[in-house]
Amino acid sequence: MAEHQGPLDAIPKTNYQSLLTIANYYSTKQMIEQVLSEDQDYVSWKLKENRTGGTMNAFLNFDNYNFGPGPEPEQVPDNKLNRVPADLTFVEDEYDEIRDEEIKSIEKGNDNPEQLSNDEQFKLLVLNLDEDQSNRFEVFHRTSLNKGQVKKLATTVCNQTIGENLRVFLQAIGKVFAGEIIELALEARRKWFIGKMVCEFDRRKEIGQRLKKYLKKLTILVEKNNSNTNDNNNNLEFNVNELFENDSVEENESDSYYDDEEAEMKEVQMGNKLLKSEKNTQEIRSGLITRYNKLVKAFNSLDISFEKYQNSPLLPEHVRQASRLYHLQKEGVITNAWRGQGEASGTMFR
């Protein structure tokens, strides 16, 4: 399987001395910070949209508005400045005329033009739906619960055979209930994906910080190794330290880890030993390159975009969360049985 392409490139294990330069370190560091900055803006925008519900910018058409300078105003004689034009029409009058014409065109034969009938209100609502709303309305309008299952369930609960009218009524109520549960489940799924997006961003930010430390350590080791082959060892070593003097990355700082993740804990501990090592051997440099390439692959593979989950199906966890939210919204007081669900510890109660 082809490796995931991303903004960072891996370091070859051989003939890497010409690639690990100070200029390469600063350019790679700038690339990592740029990627994290773009991800930070995206995450902040999504979190703000989740808190505020978004804006109306997507529904406004600014193409018809001219924000540039307008034409020069017409010169009006002084004797006409305080006069009201005879053909002046106020905006309120224009709206009233348009509204009256629309009502007359929709309500032909209605005695009260100020009040629309239910059928006319429904027709007016359907005609003003956009394409997405029309599609959802058609799906909801044509969808229905299984007649046999509704009748069987009602017969089991009531312990008697129900009539056809009651079956139709229960089928309609069940359809509304299912719609509310699905709507809450979609909202729960969206919030779950937002939480996953934040976790992915935190993970990518952590990997980016580790990448900068590994790359700086490798660059210093390669520069020191090159200085040993030259005659002016002291001058070159002094120049390397001077170039990294204002850099904020601490290459000898240990990375943190969690004890419950054993595989990652061992990997981080081995990486910390390499970062703190004062030796400049081929084995140390090879170990740093191996771990750097793993982090590059993980950094490139992480994708925090929220849109890729839009068409994902609902999971049972989303439906259960929607059921809990529905009970919390519809019931004023939570019963003791509801508090004791799960492991009877109240963890499911919100």
Interval 21-25 mean pLDDT: 87
232 in any annotated domain:
no
Res. 81 pLDDT band, cuts 50 70 90:
low
Residue 342 resides in a domain: yes
Lowest mean pLDDT among 100-104, 267-271, 319-323, 332-336: 332-336
Neighbours of 303 (CB within 10 A): 13
- Amino acid 208: pLDDT: 92
DSSP per position, 152-219: HHHHHHHTSPPPHHHHHHHHHHHHHHHHHHHHHHHHHHHHHHHHHHHHHHHHHHHHHHHHHHHHHHHH
Instruction: Round the average pLDDT of the chain to a whole number and report it.
Output: 78
Please give the average per-residue pLDDT across 337-344, as a whole number: 52
One-letter amino acid at 236 equals L
Residues 6+ apart with CB under 8 A from 107: 113, 116, 117, 120
- For residue 156, being part of any structural domain is answered with no
Q: Tell me the percentage of the chain whose pLDDT exceeds 90.
A: 12
Average pLDDT over residues 246-252: 79
110 within some domain: no
Predicted local confidence at residue 34, as pLDDT: 93
241, pLDDT greater than 80: no
- Output the pTM of the full model: 0.66
Mean pLDDT, residues 18-24 taken together: 86
- How far is it, in rounded angstroms, from Cα 32 to Cα 208? 6
Residue ranges making up the domain that contains 324 = 315-350
Per-residue confidence (pLDDT) for residue 348, from 0 to 100: 47
Q: Is the pLDDT of residue 147 over 50?
A: yes
pLDDT at residue number 1: 34
Domain count, the chain: 1
What pLDDT score does 350 carry? 44
Q: Does residue 283 fall inside a structural domain?
A: no
Does 157 reside within a domain? no
What per-residue confidence (pLDDT) applies to 349?
Answer: 46
Residue 330 lies in a domain: yes
Predicted confidence (pLDDT) per residue in 189-209, tens digit: 998 999 999 999 999 999 999
Judged against a pLDDT cut of 80, whether residue 317 lies above it is answered with yes
> Per-residue confidence at 74, pLDDT binned at 50, 70, 90?
low
With a cut of 70, say whether residue 68 has pLDDT above it. no
The stretch 109-127 carries a mean pLDDT of: 72
CA distance 155 to 163: 10
Gyration radius (Cα) of the chain, Å: 34
Using pLDDT thresholds of 50, 70 and 90, give the confidence band for residue 309: confident
Residue 2: predicted pLDDT: 41
Q: Evaluate whether residue 341 is within a structural domain.
A: yes
More confident residue, 100 or 203: 203
Highest mean pLDDT out of 41-55, 120-134, 173-187, 234-248: 173-187
